[in-house]
């Protein structure tokens, strides 16, 4: 009886050791996507009043956890029933990411307000702010959903390569998904509170010495960091989408094969594919939107 009990404990210990090693490998393989996830979500979680930053970030983080609770069982089920379906899901997700990235670029280039032309409207400021906040949260959760699919599938692929049993597949993939959520949003929370930390350092040091200077540096750096993250986040959306197209679409995978051996050319290739996919998605969306408006008028 006792020997059976210790044998079970030994099996559990071996399983946990297996999970820890494989999780480390899977996390390393998803590091690139996690970096993109951080840039995209940091950009989406900024631009609010200081008092609303953490509540907004918490709402996005809860949405991210719900995303992964939805994605994990679906991915396991799809992989069991029809593994190629995951490929098609990723391509559709790539189109969405490319659409978001290209739409931001087009908006920056063509939809900026012209100097000297101001439009004054009487609006309910509080209601408008609330609507903007809800819209940004919804957009962030949707983008997180696509990136989460990519993270989960890469993690699962790592486990499948090692031919681990089903229970190990579940534990490793779920652990990587949990680490991704907590890690990414924990760092985002630190970024968006940089200015508050700076003000506290200035106040506690009476604006003197090293800590006073550090406080001023944090306060001044935040707008630069936010602007940089906005640019990095947009590039990340296009690159992730381009990477999905380059590796998941058979025809595109064989275009410019020599570029894949050079890291810089590979990045350029992914950006080109991401931009092309985004422009196509924006064009289809615009045509579809116009067709719906025309039908409604009739």
pLDDT at 119: 41
Residue 6 located in a structural domain: no
- Residue 40's pLDDT is what? 67
Is 27 part of any domain? yes
* 261 within 8 A of 75, measured Cβ to Cβ: no
Residue 203 in any domain: the answer is no
Q: What pLDDT is recorded for position 133?
A: 79
Rounded CA-CA distance 237/233 in Å is 6
In a domain, 45, yes or no: yes
Provide the residue range defining the domain that includes 124: 11-192+221-297
> Residue 38: which of 172, 236, 219, 177 has the closest Cα?
236
Q: What is the pLDDT of residue 2?
A: 45
Q: What is the pLDDT along the chain (298 residues), one digit of tens a residue?
A: 444 433 443 444 444 555 555 555 555 555 556 666 676 666 666 666 667 777 888 888 899 899 989 988 988 888 888 878 878 888 888 888 889 889 888 888 886 544 444 443 444 455 567 787 788 888 888 888 887 887 887 777 767 656 667 777 788 788 888 887 887 888 888 887 788 888 888 888 888 888 888 888 988 887 888 778 778 778 888 888 888 888 888 888 778 777 777 888 888 998 999 999 999 999 998 888 887 777 777 6
- Where b means 16+ CB within 10 Å and e means fewer, 267-286 reads eebbbbbbbbbbbebbeeee
- pLDDT at res. 66: 92
Q: Does residue 114 fall inside a structural domain?
A: yes
pLDDT at 5: 39
Q: What confidence score (pLDDT) does residue 175 get? A: 83
User: Domain for residue 199, yes or no?
Assistant: no
The answer as to whether 242 is a domain residue is yes
Say how many domains are in the chain: 1
Residue 271 maps to a domain:
yes
């Amino acid at each position: 009886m006792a020997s059976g009990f210790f044998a079970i404990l030994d099996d559990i210990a071996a399983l946990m050791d297996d999970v820890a090693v494989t999780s480390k490998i899977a996390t390393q393989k998803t590091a690139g996507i996690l970096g993109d996830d951080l840039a995209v979500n940091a950009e989406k979680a900024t631009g609010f009043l200081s008092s609303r930053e953490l509540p907004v970030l918490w709402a996005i983080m809860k949405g991210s956890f719900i995303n992964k609770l939805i994605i994990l069982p679906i991915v396991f089920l799809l992989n069991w029933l029809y593994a190629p379906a995951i490929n098609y899901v990723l391509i559709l997700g790539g189109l969405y990411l490319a659409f978001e990235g290209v739409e931001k670029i087009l908006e920056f280039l063509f939809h900026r307000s012209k100097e000297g032309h101001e439009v004054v409207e009487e609006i309910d400021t509080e209601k408008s702010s609330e609507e903007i906040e809800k819209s940004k949260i919804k957009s962030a959760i949707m983008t997180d959903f696509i990136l989460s699919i990519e993270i989960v599938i890469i993690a699962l692929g790592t486990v499948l390569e090692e031919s681990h049993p089903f229970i190990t597949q579940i534990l490793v993939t779920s652990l990587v998904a949990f680490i991704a959520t907590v890690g990414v949003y924990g760092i985002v929370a630190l970024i968006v509170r940089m200015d508050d930390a700076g003000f506290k350092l200035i106040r506690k040091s009476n604006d003197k010495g090293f800590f006073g200077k550090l406080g001023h540096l944090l306060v001044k750096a935040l707008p630069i960091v936010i602007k940089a993250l906005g640019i990095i986040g947009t590039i990340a959306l296009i690159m992730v989408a381009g990477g999905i197209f380059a590796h998941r679409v058979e025809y595109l995978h064989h275009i410019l094969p020599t570029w894949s051996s050079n890291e810089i050319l590979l990045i350029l290739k992914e950006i080109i594919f991401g931009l092309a996919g985004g422009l196509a998605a924006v064009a289809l969306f615009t045509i579809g939107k116009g067709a719906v408006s025309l039908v409604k008028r009739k």
